[in-house]
Amino acid sequence: PQPEGKKPSVPDINQEKEKAKLAVVTYMSKILDDIQKHHLQKEKHRQIVALIKELDELKKQALSEIDNVNTKVEIENTVHKIFADMDAVVTKFKKGLTQDTP
C-alpha cells in the first residue's frame, strides 16, 4: 500500500485535472483576446484563422493529455508544456506578421 499523503485521492486528482483544463482554456482565451486587441486587421485574417486552429489543436491535445496523467506533478508539467507550446505558436505568428509588413 502507498504511504498516506503520497498519492492524492481520485477526487483530488480529478479536481486538479479540472483546474488544469480550465487553466489551459483560460490561457488560450487570454492569448486570443490579446491578438484581437493588437493584431486584428482584415489583411491578417488568414494568419489569425491559422493561429486559432493551431491553438485549438494544442488545447485539444492538452485536455486529452491531462485526462491521461495521474499525479499533480504530471498535471502541472503538462500545463506548463502546453503554455510554452502556445507561447511558441504566438511568437511565430507575431514574427510572421512583422515579416509581412513592408
What's the whole-model pTM score?
0.77
pLDDT, residue 72, reads 92
What 8-state DSSP symbol labels residue 5? T
What residue type is 24 in one-letter code? V
Looking at residues 72-101, what average pLDDT do you find?
A: 87
Question: pLDDT tens digits, residue range 65-85?
Answer: 999 999 999 999 999 999 999
* Cβ proximity of 86 and 56 under 8 Å: no
Task: Write the secondary structure of 55-76 as one string of H (helix), E (strand) and C (coil).
Answer: HHHHHHHHHHHHHCCCCHHHHH
Q: Is the pLDDT of residue 100 over 60?
A: no
> pLDDT tier at 61 (50, 70, 90 boundaries)?
very high
